[in-house]
Amino acid sequence: MRKQDNDLLTKTDAGTPMGDLIRQYWIPAVKSEDLENDAPPTRLRLLGENLIAFRTTSGKVGIFEHHCPHRCASLYYGRNEDEGIRCVYHGWKFDVSGQCVETPTESADSNMKDQVRATAYQTRERGGLIWVYMGSAEQAPELPAFEANALPEGMRWVKCGLRECNWLQALEGDIDTAHLSFLHLGALDAEQFPPGSPAHYFQKDKAPKFEVLDTDYGTMYGAYRPGDEGQMYWRIAHFLMPFWTMPPGGPLQNNIIARAWVPVDDEHTMFWHLSAPIPDRPPIQLADNKGKGLVGIHFNLEANQYHDNDWLGRYRYKENESNDYGIDREVQREDSYSGIDGVHMQDQAITESMGKIVDRTKEHLASSDKMIIMTRRRLMQSAQALSEENTIPAGVSNPEIYNGQRAGEMIIPQDADWLEKYQEICQESVNKETVDASKK
């Protein structure tokens, strides 16, 4: 990869091709539960912009550029009161649309308030999330229409965590299926898993073959390995414009999941996980644990998180580069391939170890990287088409193209058409009521 291509893919400030591309879409910003009515504003950084978020008495949400347009004092120190945010410097007040509604330091006959607006972004709330639209269109597009974005309360998980590296290398880890057999399960042999189980197949053959496709909504892969006699085991996953993934964490029939890798700035990413609840049980059962147990296989996404009040203070992990992510070398020798506890933290350590922004000119890509190669190309082409020809990218004006997609595993006859089988299973499994709700 050329340096200029890597820069195009990784830089997301306003005015950059990739930054302008991502601003065409709705962006997950804050958990609904994190903003209480009349509570103090919260610091929020997205796409390199320092913002504040607050919820009014009536429940409306405002997301602003944090500088007051009067004298540029930070509205983070403002008062959330009476359906607006009031700057404590001179008392100027703004409603959630950014319109100035009071200028108490001006004379009673002044029309100054009618001429001043804070930089405010449109917001919506759905699925336990507050979404923000940071683009320039007066009419924001519809929210993305996929199942995990419309699950009812009590039937959904909304999890997040800060990853301290560029958004693209974090995302690429989620569309790389080949590392599963090593980073997460490298200490375990195929014989330790029940015959006929997915883990038995992907530990028996650690070099999957790939079918990778360009799609209306992004890219998808089918990674396949031999199953039992006459069968093929497939793992299917998606990249959905501009920063969404659907990883294969279970059977296609019930794997309702979507993940967003949102640029906080060019060196930090907020990971969002939307899914149906994952049962609180070990996800992989061993036929013979040989004393190894299930070290490092659990999927606790929010273990050992903490918060502080700076721009990068939300959902950080106590295990990080400064303490080597809690690696235990003795455990690594005896029980766990990585010595790092938990699938999520293993991914965190590896993607952050590449550096804040990985230098892709040093890579040597291989056949197992087909999905990553195609996804990079799709992103570059989309960003360039928007920048040079004002071509609106996929999913902005037609969010229905996300409908009906699932990621997951399937075992099918060896000579069957994998794509036909995938589509057949999705048509039978996708909750039509949920998809319809996601369009509203």
- Average pLDDT score over residue span 137-155: 90
Assess whether 122 and 176 both reside in one domain: no
d(CA 163, CA 170): 7
Is residue 286's pLDDT more than 90?
no
Decide: helix, strand or coil at residue 121.
strand
Residue 15 lies in a domain: no
Q: Is position 13 within any domain?
A: no
Domain boundary among 140, 169, 195: 140
Domain presence at residue 227: yes
- Whether residues 157 and 111 share a domain: the answer is no
In a domain, 107, yes or no: yes
262 and 383 in a single domain? The answer is yes
* pLDDT of 436 strictly over 70: no
Clarify whether residues 341 and 396 are in a common domain: yes
CATH number at residue 158: 3.90.380.10
How far apart CA 168 and CA 225 sit, in angstroms, is 27
Q: Is residue 25 part of a domain?
A: no
pLDDT digit string (tens) for 203-240?
Answer: 898 999 999 999 999 999 999 999 999 999 999 999 99
Q: State residue 281's pLDDT score.
A: 44
Q: Is residue 26 exposed (0-12), middle (13-18) or buried (19+ Cβ within 10 Å)?
A: buried
Averaged pLDDT for residues 24-37: 97
User: Tens of pLDDT along 294-319?
Assistant: 444 666 788 899 999 999 999 999 99
Does 195 score more than 90 pLDDT? no
Q: Are 300 and 175 within one domain?
A: yes
The residue among 113, 140, 167 that closes a domain is 140
Q: How far apart are CA 55 and CA 284, in angstroms?
A: 41
The domain containing residue 179 runs over which residues? 149-438
Residues 344 and 433 in one domain: yes
Would residue 22 count as lying in a domain?
A: no
Do residues 259 and 247 make contact, with C-beta atoms less than 8 angstroms apart? Answer: yes
Q: Where are the beta strands (DSSP E) in 151-215?
A: 157-163, 209-214
| Domain-embedded: residue 53 | yes
For residue 21, the Cα-to-chain-centroid distance in whole angstroms is: 16
Give the domain CATH number at 72.
Answer: 2.102.10.10
Whether residues 226 and 344 fall in one domain: yes
Average pLDDT for residues 20-39, to the nearest whole number?
97
Q: What is the pLDDT of residue 68?
A: 98
Phi, psi angles (nearest 5°) of residue 6: -65, -40
CA distance from start to end of the chain: 41
- Check pLDDT > 50 for residue 437: no
Contact 273, 158 (CB under 8 A): yes
Burial string for 93-115 (b: 16+ CB within 10 Å, else e) reads bbbbebebbebeeeeeeeeebee
Residue pointed to by tokens 């019930």: 254
- Residue 389 tokens read as 């020809």
Is there a single domain that holds both residue 130 and residue 181? no
pLDDT-derived band at 165, boundaries 50, 70, 90? very high
In this structure, the answer to whether residues 273 and 410 fall within a common structural domain is yes
Average pLDDT over residues 166-182: 94
* Total count of domains within the chain: 2
- On whether residue 263 sits in a domain, the answer given is yes
Cα–Cα–Cα angle for 53, 59, 60, nearest 5°? 55
Asked if pLDDT for residue 45 goes beyond 50, the answer is yes
* 222: phi then psi, degrees, rounded to nearest 5: -120, 115
| One domain, residues 112 and 230 | no
Let me know whether 129 and 172 are in one domain. Answer: no
pLDDT at residue 349 tops 90: yes
Residues 219 and 329 grouped into a single domain? yes
Model pLDDT, residue 432? 58
Of 89, 107, 140, which residue constitutes the final position of a domain?
140
